[in-house]
């Protein structure tokens, strides 16, 4: 039996046989105008401000994420800005990417940031954390890190996008002083320290003002195999008397894997052993949750339990969504445990790795480690997950989809001069206006979906989403998970009136639909204006769809 911890440890990538799945499509839009569902947006029940950082990203020095994905090199014929892929920067600006996590992931706890500064030609080549897992098809720089991309290049990437950098420090294999000096390199003003001089010499006179810092990654696994108590002691040590140069440092502690409630409990218990004030040093507790087990309860084996990114039937479609749905319980469950120790809620949840994880075999670029092909199913999954975060704004301060490009639930795929926005990338575009909005309690009433799961009846909810308001604009995002039925839905705004409205949605008659380098526009948003006659807005949500309604209020 292999679990994620063993997998990461061994670098094992087992390929399993693919199975053929029938094509399932939508027979056609419902022609009936009778609403079968209802959405009520309650303007007098605000839930809290949606942190823009919930729409964050994760980039690890892994496979083709950096070398080929983000970084093409200054001399590359691929359009770039200082070596960084231009088309990627442009789209990330469009989706208002707020924060980007780097350099890992597991890579972070083997990385020495000092290797990635100074003249590029003098930077050392190092064995990448993921080297053992790389296939023979992978280019050399995926296995042996040339350090061409380091802190300067990454922060430049963030600046070009307008995003905050979120750096993960190495707790497993570097001392606390290295963390302190990384902060010094990034944030000390020009002329004050030797490391500031080094930054200035590299062409960056202004401090980077890095505000978000991870203290290790998955410290229960690849980040050191610590117990929660051991890690809490390390966390206190690494976070003590960090220089701040006037910037507030928001420290993210390595948190639980999935439903490991005891990690959350024991970590906080141990941190607090030193005194109640200790909580003030923690900005967030990182929760990691991947939806990987599509075996329908048959196995917990990390390799055998995986499903296929492209070949799946309707039951697999719902199975992924059921796995994704667990996120809501994980957020509320860990929050409940945190509440036992932190009645003031000083510490928030930072879901800095989330997304589906399939078996290998669907890579757009053969040889790219952990790369998979996102389909409409992943778009629906991602919309559903972002809605969960929107509905819990007081609990979730940040979330980072794993991972940005050429990896797991990627928004983009790129290879050399080819670049494509995946259905997941389009979901982030549709949801961008939620950032900074006031989340409103919203009631979704729709018939449950019924299907057969291995000979037994199974059901799944029929319609869900989230709503937020900013000034006179309401954003309502809605997921229809049904593979075959449209939902005719009456939308009631309790406490506001519609002036005008439009809707953008992603859907396709084929639930496997995805965008490739050759066919980049198979799943793209369609926008239409919505007409209404003083009465309630009635909207048809196509089957297998993610929609965003942009409603201007009177
Ligand atoms: O995202 C891939 C890996 O998954 C990350 O490196 C690690 O943190 C997690 O286990």
- Identify whether the C-beta of residue 550 lies closer than 8 Å to the C-beta of residue 475: yes
Cα 342–343–344 angle (5° rounding)?
Answer: 90
Which whole number is the average pLDDT over 9-29? 30
**For residue 87, what are the CA distances in angstroms to 69, 154, 414, 418, 434?**
11, 16, 10, 10, 24
Alpha-carbon span 179 to 164, nearest angstrom? 18
Which whole number is the average pLDDT over 258-262? 98
Q: From the CA of 244, how far away is ligand 1's center (Å)?
A: 29
Residues 398-435: pLDDT tens digits? 999 999 999 999 999 999 999 999 999 999 999 999 99
Q: Which residue's C-alpha comes closest to atom 9 of ligand 1?
A: 105
Residues 83-134: pLDDT tens digits? 999 999 999 999 999 999 999 999 999 999 999 999 999 999 999 999 999 9
Q: What is the pLDDT of residue 367?
A: 96
Q: Which residue's C-alpha comes closest to atom 8 of ligand 1?
A: 105
Matching residue, tokens 């479609």:
317
| pLDDT mean across residues, the chain | 94
Q: What is the pLDDT of residue 3?
A: 64
Q: From the CA of 222, how far away is ligand 1's center (Å)?
A: 9
Which whole number is the average pLDDT over 226-234? 98
Q: If pLDDT is split at 50, 70 and 90, which confidence band does 531 have? A: confident
Nearest Cα neighbor of 202 from 110, 86, 122 is 122
Q: Which residue's C-alpha comes closest to atom 7 of ligand 1?
A: 105
Q: From the CA of 381, how far away is ligand 1's center (Å)?
A: 19
**DSSP characters over 216-250:** -S-TTTTTT---HHHHHHHHHHHHTT---TTSPPE
Residues 328-342: pLDDT tens digits? 999 999 999 999 999
Q: How many CB atoms lie within 10 A of CB 279?
A: 17
Q: Has residue 55 got a pLDDT over 80?
A: yes
Q: From the CA of 178, how far away is ligand 1's center (Å)?
A: 22
Q: Has residue 13 got a pLDDT over 60?
A: no
Q: Has residue 76 got a pLDDT over 70?
A: yes
Atom of ligand 1 lying closest to residue 403 CA = 1
Atom of ligand 1 lying closest to residue 407 CA = 1
pTM, two decimals, is: 0.94
What is the dihedral sign for C-alpha 305, 311, 315, 319? positive
Which whole number is the average pLDDT over 7-24? 33
Q: What is the pLDDT of residue 33?
A: 62
Matching residue, tokens 């409603």:
551
User: Choosing from 325, 353, 363, 429, which is the catalytic residue?
Assistant: 353
- Identify whether the C-beta of residue 313 lies closer than 8 Å to the C-beta of residue 296: no
What share of the chain in percent tops pLDDT 70? Answer: 94
Q: Which secondary structure element, helix H or strand E, spans residue 107, and what is its range?
A: none
Q: From the CA of 257, how far away is ligand 1's center (Å)?
A: 11
Q: Has residue 6 got a pLDDT over 80?
A: no
User: Choosing from 60, 218, 270, 371, which is the catalytic residue?
Assistant: 218
Alpha-carbon span 46 to 44, nearest angstrom? 6
Q: Has residue 150 got a pLDDT over 90?
A: yes
- Identify whether the C-beta of residue 63 lies closer than 8 Å to the C-beta of residue 368: yes
Alpha-carbon span 320 to 317, nearest angstrom? 6
Q: Has residue 1 got a pLDDT over 90?
A: no
Q: What is the pLDDT of residue 21?
A: 27
363 is catalytic: no
Q: Which residue's C-alpha comes closest to atom 3 of ligand 1?
A: 105
**How many residues are listed for the chain in this entry?**
554
Q: What is the pLDDT of residue 535?
A: 74
Q: From the CA of 302, how far away is ligand 1's center (Å)?
A: 13
353 is catalytic: yes
With a Cβ cut-off of 6 Å, ligand 1 is lined by 4, 8, 60, 104-106, 217-218, 353, 402-403, 408
Pocket test for ligand 1, best of 214, 288, 357, 406 (most atoms within 8 A of CB): 288
Q: What is the pLDDT of residue 80?
A: 98
Q: Which secondary structure element, helix H or strand E, spans residue 254, and what is its range?
A: strand 250-257
Three-state SS sequence of 316-370: HHHHHHHHHHHHHHHHHHHHHHHHHHCCCCCCEEEEEEEEECCCCCCCCCCCCCC
Alpha-carbon span 535 to 491, nearest angstrom? 10
Q: Has residue 139 got a pLDDT over 80?
A: yes
Atom of ligand 1 lying closest to residue 221 CA = 10
Which whole number is the average pLDDT over 196-215? 98
Alpha-carbon span 47 to 109, nearest angstrom? 36
Q: What is the pLDDT of residue 15?
A: 28
Atom of ligand 1 lying closest to residue 353 CA = 1
Pocket test for ligand 1, best of 12, 109, 218, 358 (most atoms within 8 A of CB): 218
Q: What is the pLDDT of residue 28?
A: 29
Q: What is the pLDDT of residue 5?
A: 53
Residues 190-201: pLDDT tens digits? 999 999 999 999
- Identify whether the C-beta of residue 504 lies closer than 8 Å to the C-beta of residue 548: yes
């Amino acid at each position: 039996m292999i679990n994620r911890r063993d997998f990461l440890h061994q670098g094992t990538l087992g390929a399993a046989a693919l199975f053929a799945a029938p094509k399932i499509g939508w027979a056609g839009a419902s022609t009936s105008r009778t609403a079968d569902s209802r959405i009520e947006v309650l303007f007098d029940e605000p839930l809290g401000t949606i942190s823009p950082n919930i729409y964050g990203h994760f980039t690890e020095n892994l496979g083709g994420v950096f070398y080929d994905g983000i970084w093409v090199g200054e001399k590359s014929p691929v359009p770039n800005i200082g070596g960084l892929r231009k088309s990627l920067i442009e789209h990330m600006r469009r989706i208002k990417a707020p924060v980007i996590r780097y350099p890992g992931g597991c890579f972070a706890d083997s990385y020495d940031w000092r290797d990635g500064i100074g003249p590029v030609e003098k930077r050392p080549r190092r064995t990448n954390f993921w080297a053992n897992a790389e296939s023979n098809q992978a280019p050399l720089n995926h296995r042996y890190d040339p350090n061409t991309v380091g802190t300067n290049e990454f922060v430049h990437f963030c600046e070009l996008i307008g995003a905050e950098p979120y750096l993960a420090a190495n707790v497993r294999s570097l001392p606390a002083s290295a963390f302190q000096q990384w902060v010094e390199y990034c944030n000390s003003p020009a002329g004050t320290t030797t490391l500031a001089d080094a930054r200035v010499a590299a062409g960056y006179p202004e401090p980077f003002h890095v505000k978000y810092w991870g203290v290790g990654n998955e410290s229960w696994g690849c980040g050191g195999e610590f117990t929660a108590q051991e890690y809490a002691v390390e966390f206190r040590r690494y976070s003590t008397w960090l220089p701040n140069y006037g910037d507030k440092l928001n420290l993210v502690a390595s948190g639980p894997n999935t439903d490991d409630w005891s990690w959350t409990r024991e970590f906080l218990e141990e941190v607090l052993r030193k005194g109640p004030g200790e909580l003030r040093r923690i900005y967030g507790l990182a929760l990691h949750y991947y939806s990987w087990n599509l075996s329908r309860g048959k196995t917990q084996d990390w390799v055998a339990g995986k499903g296929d990114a492209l070949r799946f039937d309707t039951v697999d479609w719902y199975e992924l969504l059921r796995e994704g749905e667990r996120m809501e319980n994980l957020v509320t469950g860990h929050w409940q445990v945190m509440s036992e120790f932190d009645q003031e809620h000083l510490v928030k949840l930072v879901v800095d790795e989330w997304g589906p994880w399939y078996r290998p075999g669907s890579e757009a670029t053969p040889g790219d480690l952990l790369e998979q092909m996102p389909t409409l199913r992943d778009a629906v999954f991602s919309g559903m997950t972002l809605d969960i975060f929107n509905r819990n704004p007081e609990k979730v301060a940040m979330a980072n989809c794993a991972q940005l490009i050429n990896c797991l639930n990627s928004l983009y795929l790129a290879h050399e001069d080819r670049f494509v926005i995946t259905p997941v990338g389009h979901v982030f575009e549709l949801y961008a206006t939620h950032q900074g909005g006031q989340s409103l309690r919203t009631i979704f009433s729709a018939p449950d979906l019924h299907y057969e799961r291995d000979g037994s009846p199974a059901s799944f909810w029929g319609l869900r989403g989230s709503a937020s308001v900013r000034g006179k604009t309401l954003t309502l995002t809605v997921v229809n998970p049904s593979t075959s039925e449209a939902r005719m839905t009456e939308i009631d705004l309790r406490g506001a009136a519609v002036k005008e409205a439009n809707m953008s949605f992603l859907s396709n008659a084929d639930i496997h639909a995805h965008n490739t380098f050759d066919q980049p526009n198979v799943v793209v948003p369609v926008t239409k204006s919505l007409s209404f006659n003083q009465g309630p807005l009635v909207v048809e949500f196509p089957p297998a769809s993610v929609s965003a309604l942009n409603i201007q209020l009177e």
